[in-house]
Structure 1
């Protein structure tokens, strides 16, 4: 398996318009939660974490008279804004895009529209090879699935760079109503539960390459990604079965098996969003792999910018990559992601010394 390097990252959330601003906001503990113009059944405002409208490109004129929903239009604006930024100055032939989109829920049409890539092509002029591009729709684990597919593309030798992205927006009334009905959303209601989370908005892109000369670097190090590990949790949050933590444990073990024996994990970035459900599986996975986790620090940035859904995996990798490079001695990180359905995934973010 060829080494996978991160060439560039671009992250947009309520906490900032690029990767570094998000990194420093999370390091400073800045919270972007706000009462939004969405309401609970008892007419109290739901708490969300929204990207400012002014941070996004306007919708293309050719798309203004379509029957797209507000949420789908916003996802197009978000995706085009991030893609134009990360591909600015791209030289050479167009490259494939593997896009992770929102997870589907029973009774709620929550996924990207089937024609999303075609709509993106109309929305912005991008050096993307659409015939080789794909969309995945498993929620928080989607970008790690995109990395697995990108690694196959790179290994095939037909491309030197692959763009992967994740986009999600909580501004979907039917989805919010379903979550509110289940008591999962933080709100201003005096009858609200403590065990809730704050939905957010995020767009993230990672430009991956097998060429070390193109890798992002700092202080004599560049960032590599292991092969991701995957698992499935029968006792997921919408299952009647009890959660035993099997899915995340399987994913973490598979990811750590790609890590050289002399390396241990000092930081774990997880998709935990404040709901108690996620703590058990995280504890199981960490305990069962404790021999590779030495006094690790647990980071859960949803506390800063909300739950980013399908953008979660890429956002965590972006923050982990910057966190790996910032200390005087670069450190290795583990990223763990869990979807609301059964999907679980993990990946190692590894600093590699650049030889003189």
Structure 2
């Protein structure tokens, strides 16, 4: 008999333009509070980009020293500081004496755009007070929005095959970088006053502390959150491909994630959709083909409407928000998170609410 492998959510850390921590972000998303603003970034056709950013006061008041290396930029600064803050929040509940494996999601490579060097990012994140992470148990996925859910597959392997007490997964990303804005604007992807099909560049970081020990899970009124093994697949018709997006990748990932269910039980989907029409078709295909396992009154949430597109932080932030929502919803037992990268990777995750004494 096959063992059903799953992880319990032990804690959450996040920072987004709508919240300095997990609770504030989840509350603001639930209240539909938007942090959109007309920025000082100008597109090549001289239009002001609509963006969403973490308030500058947070970065200016950051008290820890940062190793800037040979080259440093505002984008690097923001990604590093957001990651440290949210990782410390996620790890604030742990009392382990041993170092914790880290599985990290970072932005997808973009030709011509200088992304943060992995070594610089990790040098600043590791060896911080309140961040007892293991340098020897470290993995990085450069797969953007799908990265954190992709990382969950490896995290569950750590919990079961290497008997780790807990694992930290997370991601950090920022679009607040002029060359990146110009690159996106050249293909009309950035939302401006006159554009019809762009997205709002945002930024954020999110981390999830996972455990196999139910007694160490985040407990709200006697309920805990189970994260099942994720569904992962590739889409041939991704953003950079010549083929059309038929939605087969997200469909396959969704079906794999829903495999533990036998009937229509998922009440809500949290999606990484960012406002671009490109993503609507594949979401529709995935929902239609898995309708037998989705509630008839299914709700679909895309919090990028509140905080913008947060790239590689999407999986952790969406999972954290979904978990906190599910814990407060007495009518629901299952939620789902779906994430689609600009490149081929698609991912889906089933969340289950379970009583602590079950």
> 1:9 corresponds to which residue?
12
Q: SS of 1:63's equivalent?
A: coil
State whether structure 2 residue 116 is matched by structure 1 residue 119: no
Q: How big is each residue's C-alpha offset from its partner over 1:227-272, in whole Å with a ceiling of 9 and x where there is no partner?
A: 0001111111221111111110010001001x23256111011111
Aligned CA RMSD, in angstroms, stands at: 1.9
Superposition deviation, residue 44 in structure 1: 2.5
Q: Distance in 1 between matches of 2:70 and 2:64?
A: 11
Q: 2:33 aligns with which of 30, 34, 47?
A: 30
5 Å matches for 1:159-174?
A: 159-174=164-179
State whether structure 2 residue 83 is matched by structure 1 residue 79: yes
Superposition deviation, residue 97 in structure 1: 1.2
Superposition deviation, residue 90 in structure 1: 3.4
TM-score by length of 2: 0.93
Q: 1:328 aligns with which of 327, 330, 350?
A: 330
> 2:24 corresponds to which residue?
21
Task: Tell me, yes or no, if the aligned pair for 2:270 and 2:318 is still in contact at 8 Å.
Answer: yes
Residues 198 and 205 of structure 1: CA distance in aligned 2, closer, same or farther (over 3 Å): same
Superposition deviation, residue 121 in structure 1: 2.9
TM-score by length of 1: 0.93
Give the unaligned 5+ runs of structure 1. none
5 Å matches for 1:1-356?
A: 1-56=4-59, 58=62, 60-61=64-65, 63-64=67-68, 66-88=70-92, 90-91=94-95, 92-110=97-115, 112-121=117-126, 126-188=131-193, 192-257=194-259, 259-261=260-262, 264-294=265-295, 295-355=297-357
Residues 290 and 65 of structure 1: CA distance in aligned 2, closer, same or farther (over 3 Å): closer
Q: Distance in 1 between matches of 2:100 and 2:198?
A: 40
Residues 113 and 21 of structure 1: CA distance in aligned 2, closer, same or farther (over 3 Å): same
Residues 292 and 127 of structure 1: CA distance in aligned 2, closer, same or farther (over 3 Å): same
Q: Distance in 2 between matches of 1:332 and 1:106?
A: 39
Q: Distance in 2 between matches of 1:355 and 1:125?
A: 30
Task: Tell me, yes or no, if the aligned pair for 2:14 and 2:89 is still in contact at 8 Å.
Answer: no
* Paired residues, number: 352
Task: Tell me, yes or no, if the aligned pair for 1:247 and 1:344 is still in contact at 8 Å.
Answer: yes
Task: Tell me, yes or no, if the aligned pair for 2:68 and 2:120 is still in contact at 8 Å.
Answer: no
Give the unaligned 5+ runs of structure 2. none
